[in-house]
Structure 1
């Protein structure tokens, strides 16, 4: 396996050299394993093990579009706040052969004060949880999509003794990895533990039973969809079990989303959050098709999109749209990809950079009407730290990127980073502030430095 992988990686390096500019930019493809041709599979391999793509599609103005985003949310003088709710969101909780209970004892230590302070703490559960089967993780050298399964003990890490993640999306490309029974077992497991979820279902009625989480009088509805099932089709006659919409294509039918938003509003939801598994892997920018799809999803009446799947962080967008159900102009938030949360890609350097966000929702009175709107956004850049300790031991931990760099600047290096690793941390910081969250997005205070002076950076 190692020799085969080494040969493939060398071949992809040479291919990238000869193709040059053609392998430097995002391409307008679907990225759906079921429909990939050989060229797309080679392109995926190149992005995965050689070099992640940091340049958007040529000639589309995508980089400039995100660079000019203003991610501050203004309430206006006429809005009188009454109640607030905080949603904190992280990316994908996957299964890996290199991540297990024994090396994640301090998994959350660096970010728990921020991430677990939300009233609703959500993430994408990107693997079935079937306790009767052995755990199966993504290997360090991955040549194809494995059929993964998360252990009960790793799930215990996610929920952190009841103080951690408390809402799970289950619609993703691994939803059917353990088959129909595995999907049912996962839902039974979550229900037995008392954790709400959305994205997969046992029945048509359950698919349409949109979960509402009420905190401080504010009702937030969650919906979830995946663009792919890793080459599988939805179960014939039971398509309701997996919320599948080919979200990376521009003209897909969104009637399922429209139906679910309508149900959520009929259940008096003040805010609708869509957790989407979409976009292209190992690419810093979403392609034009995905951006257009994000706008279409919002125009169904969705207030917030929390995106995942690309294994890297992607930019955010404040999008003004007309809500056809509430019949008013609104400002929504699209996070195209939060990146990883508990996952590991050894050969993808940019996959070590991700983010956790905190979204403030406020109920207030404006011109005599009571409404709920997004009033603030806070962002925590994170670094996925994995270290081999020798004698078969390792450590996996999520680090606060800016705190880590501040410590290094003050000659504190508790994680034993080498000079090369420190250089890489600084590169990832530049990537984040140049492409994921440009300095104009949140406004600057004080002397305008990026360390702690961006209004939305924690």
Structure 2
């Protein structure tokens, strides 16, 4: 009898111990999960800021373009841009390549091969959404230093940032950084392969940035001190070739290895493909080798096709780290429409390609599909904007 009572007491003690252990284990597990979940919640809720940036192709103003923009004593290019202004205004920052210098009519407007454009061009593009222009290209020195100084004076007058050509050594030393309302700082650099054989005036290298790897590396290093993301523009490649050459690809990879997030190319006057490159440290670089002509007086089919590259920049801040991410690239194909009146080109207008009609371009749908495939060939995921 006593033995049975002893066994019963032993069983009850063991049972109580097991329940206590299970309860303790459950409590410990719950605390661990709660702590883990707390850390997990903290890790997936960083401070995220996002902006969109867009870049358009060459603004190459021949006399047949500015002659049709005459309005009173000045020039008005806005009617040429009405169909694309919403696309240009939507991004947080829109950049453009001002291929022809806006030296103004006081020194005489001119066309190919030595360009000089009306100042109103800058006013009109600013009005439709352009926030910064690149000036380093093979036509920068077409009309000499006076045209550059006139252009910069006008950009400063209308508060339009510019890069790639400068009024003085001190001006060149100022890194062009646009800080958005979201707190993201975007740096812009611009370089050209040459200036059509026109020598840069002695002691005035600041008038135009030439492609020089040592200088580019130094500029990127300086820009990184104040910019979250760097967009580097190259004026390079062979005119009218639809694929980048070895030099373009090598220079794009060079920029990627320096940590540049985005490379935008100009000069071929036709659209070339978009792709991702991987830098030596493993980071991605978005590259558009050529965005073609956005507005020009060139006549051939592919010279009339340009585009706007758009992408998202995210600044992801954790308690102890900040990550910059470039993502969601997309592309708006554009088309320069014009009429021929009495044998002359007139009524220029930049159109989103998807709005082009059969009357404006024979077999337009096939051309539209072909340009999509062309620009996407190295990046099938590239979205087409419509």
Q: Which runs of 4+ in 1 moved over 3 A?
A: 77-81, 102-105, 365-368, 389-393, 455-458
Name the CA distance, whole Å, in 1 between partners of 2:338 and 2:234.
27
Aligned: 1:280 with 2:238:
yes
> SS state of the match for residue 402, structure 1?
helix
> What is the TM-score when the length of structure 2 is the normalising length?
0.81
Alpha-carbon distance in 2 for matches of 1:194, 1:92 = 21
Going from structure 1 to structure 2, the CA distance change for 1:257 and 1:95 (only over 3 Å counts) comes to same
Contact kept, 8 Å, 1:94 with 1:343, in 2: the verdict is: yes
Q: Which residue of 2 aligns with 1:133?
A: 107
- Local SS of the residue matching 2:79: coil
Note the 1:325-344 alignment, pairs <5 A: 329-344=282-297
State the Cα distance separating 1:80 from its structure 2 match.
Answer: 4.6
- The structure 1 residue matched to 2:143, chosen from 178, 196, 214, is 178
Match of 2:123 among 141, 156, 162: 156
Compared with structure 1, are the counterparts of its residues 79 and 209 closer, same or farther at alpha carbon in structure 2 (3 Å cutoff)?
farther
Q: Match for 2:224 among 256, 261, 265?
A: 265
Distance 1:365 1:296 in 2: 28
Instruction: Tell me, in whole angstroms, the C-alpha distance in 2 between the residues paired with 1:151 and 1:403.
Output: 29
> 1:91-119 CA deviation, whole Å, 9 max, x = no partner?
11122111122484432222222222111
Residue by residue over 1:327-382, the C-alpha shift from the partner in whole angstroms, topping out at 9 and shown as x without a partner, is x5321101000010111212x22111111121110111369422221022121111
Q: Which residue of 1 aligns with 2:374?
A: 435
Distance 2:306 2:345 in 1: 25
Tell me the residue number matched to 2:176: 211
Query: Which structure: greater helix fraction?
Result: 2
Counterpart of 1:8 in structure 2 is: none
From 346, 351, 358, the counterpart of 1:394: 346
Q: Which residue in 2 is equivalent to 1:108?
A: 81
Q: For 2:118 and 2:44, locate their aligned partners in 1 and report how far apart those are by CA, in whole Å.
A: 50
Cα 1:439–1:99 change in 2 (3 A) is same
Query: Contact 1:95 / 1:136 at 8 angstroms: preserved in 2?
Result: no
Q: TM-score, normalised by structure 1?
A: 0.69
Gaps of 5+ in 1: 1-76, 139-145, 246-252, 323-327, 409-415, 444-454
Q: CA deviation at 1:393?
A: 7.7
Bigger relative contact order, structure 1 or 2, given CA contacts below 8 A and separation 6+?
A: 1
Structure 1, residues 231-261: CA drift from partner, whole Å, max 9, x if none?
112222222221012xxxxxxx501111111
Provide the aligned C-alpha RMSD in A.
2.3
The corresponding residue for 1:226 is 192
Count of residues paired in the alignment: 335
